[in-house]
């Protein structure tokens, strides 16, 4: 599986034409303790860069953007009851949704892990 990152601090892990999306460890550390998460609807069509979810912490609310275009296949319903999973394991158990890619070419515009790390270090 290949993982890519956005400038808005989302990650996307590709497995065939299905991708899992969440926020990075950097993003969750900037938010602080997450207390609420609003996920997209299964079956919703998302566009690259469009709002996909909302995450609220004790410090702020933040939109989560879709790194690619596609249709939401599954959401991590556990986050509704346990939004703290986003802080505990943002790049594993704290995933937000799974999306079926409609244009894999959009992945070319995303960071690989080394480029994302350099991007964060420059902030």
Task: Write down the pLDDT at residue 67.
Answer: 98
Contact 120/111 with Cβ under 8 angstroms?
no
Over residues 29-65, the pLDDT tens digits come to 999 999 999 999 999 999 999 999 999 999 889 999 9
CATH topology of domain 2-103: OB fold (Dihydrolipoamide Acetyltransferase, E2P) (2.40.50)
Phi, psi angle pair for 121, to nearest 5°? -65, -25
Sequence ranges of the domains in the chain: 2-103
pLDDT tier for residue 88 given thresholds of 50, 70 and 90: very high
Quickly tell me which residue has 């899992």 as its tokens.
20
Nearest to 114, CA basis, from 28, 1, 5: 5
């Amino acid at each position: 599986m290949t993982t890519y990152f956005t400038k808005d601090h989302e990650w996307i892990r590709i497995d065939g034409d299905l991708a899992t999306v969440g926020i990075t460890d950097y993003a969750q550390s900037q938010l602080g303790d997450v207390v609420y998460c609003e996920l997209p609807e299964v079956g919703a069509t998302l566009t690259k860069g469009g709002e996909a979810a909302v995450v609220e912490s004790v410090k702020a609310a933040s939109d989560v953007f879709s790194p690619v275009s596609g249709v939401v296949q599954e959401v991590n319903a556990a986050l509704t009851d346990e939004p703290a999973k986003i802080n505990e394991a943002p790049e594993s158990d704290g995933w937000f949704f799974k999306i079926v890619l409609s244009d894999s070419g959009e992945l070319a515009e995303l960071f690989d892990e080394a480029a994302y790390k350099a991007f964060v270090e420059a902030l």
